[in-house]
Structure 1
């Protein structure tokens, strides 16, 4: 790898170990085996490098957590919508221990948005692309064939994902399972049933 790639890999390691606020340019240089001048030459600034490193980490996490094995996908018949939803969440939640640092980093990024306009700008496009990916992987909606349904479904899945991450980071013992989320979606789809006896 050249200095550009070394810097990106070093920045990714620093983000996972230290987060945004505690990562310095010298940390990145030490992790990448490069020099301070290389950051400005290849990326313009430390912040631009960290922003790109964060995007790469989230892309890698998405590949790990939400995508089925291509061979299995080709061998099996298409899953029913709720089965696909549950399967996608099993992969996301199953990645928690391996991906905890990425989840923590995403929470830190949310806290930085209002004070870091460059970071916010860098996230706009990938966030919209991510919604399409969630709609396709979790609900089987093809963004190219049905962009509006994919947009709305992606918004729904993204809102769920943020909430699930928070719950797993705060209290894994009571955090939702894939089956909990599937059962919850079923309840929403069914609407309100009869009130328990004696309830108002």
Structure 2
């Protein structure tokens, strides 16, 4: 592996073990076996490296989720069944990546001081909205990108809210079944 690759692997490991704010440049250099100067050379800053690592690790998490769901979800299944199945898997995979999700929330209060991190995170958020629309709905509407974005934004907001609750109090955070029940109640109220 190259120094850049070693630093990225070290950053992902440190995010999982220490989180975003507790990881130091020295931690990254020690875990990667690369000099401190290599961080600046390859990524510009420790924060830029960690944010890129967080995005890549989150993409790996999403890939793991998609792989798990690919064999389980019938594309013709009713939305409520798809919804509960996706949420069951999200919570299972999130459990295995708890510190990574904590790191995602941990960076939020500092985002104004890190414009380069904000830019990378905003781009990743937009991509996540697109992916979530397809993951939950089963298909996107090629003729209506505004509808796709709205659906993706809804699922993204729900996901971040549920994961925040789960990080704080996993025993009382909503389950996949709770979320599906709520969706049915809300849909009935909207339709009625």
TM over 0.5: yes
What does residue 158 of structure 1 align with?
Answer: 156
Displacement after TM superposition at 1:145 (Å): 4.8
Larger Rg: 1
The runs of 5 or more residues in structure 2 that have no matched partner are none
TM-score normalised by structure 1 residue count: 0.87
What does residue 122 of structure 1 align with?
Answer: 120
What does residue 103 of structure 1 align with?
Answer: 101
Contact 2:75 2:138 in 1 (8 A): no
What does residue 198 of structure 1 align with?
Answer: none
2:130 to 129, 132, 143: 132
Displacement after TM superposition at 1:186 (Å): 0.8
Distance 1:91 1:164 in 2: 13
What does residue 52 of structure 2 align with?
Answer: 52
Displacement after TM superposition at 1:64 (Å): 2.1
Structure 2 counterpart SS, 1:174? coil
Distance 1:43 1:126 in 2: 17
Distance 1:52 1:109 in 2: 12
Distance 1:77 1:158 in 2: 21
Write out per-residue CA displacement over residues 40-87 of structure 1, whole angstroms, 9 at most, x where no aligned residue.
2222222221121111111112122355454556xx452211111111
TM-score normalised by structure 2 residue count: 0.90
Distance 1:97 1:129 in 2: 22
Which has the higher relative contact order, 1 or 2, with Cα contacts under 8 A spaced 6 or more apart?
Answer: 2
Contact 1:141 1:149 in 2 (8 A): no
Within 5 Å, give how 1:158-177 maps onto structure 2.
158-177=156-175
Moved more, 135-144 or 53-62: 135-144
What does residue 89 of structure 2 align with?
Answer: 91
What does residue 149 of structure 1 align with?
Answer: 147
User: CA 1:141 to 1:37, structure 2 compared with 1: closer, same or farther past 3 Å?
Assistant: same
